[in-house]
């Protein structure tokens, strides 16, 4: 099981690295374009966007945690074993 956990962790890390690389590249390109990017018609909403984004991610995290809780409850009712804790979470 430890080998499977380590493999899954490596795969997850590789995926996250790929996503991070794409975002960093996009930010670098947009930064290089600078003032040549046209002003967006909804630019007056920009001050509100970070707060709305933070709230939406916070809500999504809470919703995902709730779904996780009840999924584990359903699995327990069906007799599935408790999920093993990752070593990083247990440490």
Helices (H), 34-81: 49-77
Distance from the Cα of residue 34 to its chain's centroid: 28
Contacts (Cβ under 8 Å, ≥6 apart) of 37: 30
CA geometry: angle 18, 5, 65, nearest 5 deg: 75
Task: Supply the DSSP symbol for 1.
Answer: -
Residue 90's pLDDT band, with cuts at 50, 70 and 90, is very low
> Count of CB atoms within 10 A of residue 5's CB?
14
Would the pTM count as exceeding 0.85? no
Residue 1's pLDDT band, with cuts at 50, 70 and 90, is low
**pLDDT tens digits for range 15-25:** 999 999 999 99
């Amino acid at each position: 099981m430890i080998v499977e956990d380590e493999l899954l962790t490596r795969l997850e890390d590789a995926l996250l690295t790929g996503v991070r690389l794409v975002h960093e590249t996009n930010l670098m390109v947009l930064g290089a374009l600078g003032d040549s990017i046209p002003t967006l018609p909804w630019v007056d909403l920009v001050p509100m966007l970070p707060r709305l984004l933070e709230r939406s991610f916070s809500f999504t995290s809470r919703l995902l945690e709730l779904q996780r809780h009840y999924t584990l409850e359903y699995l327990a009712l069906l007799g599935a074993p408790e999920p093993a804790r990752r070593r990083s979470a247990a440490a």
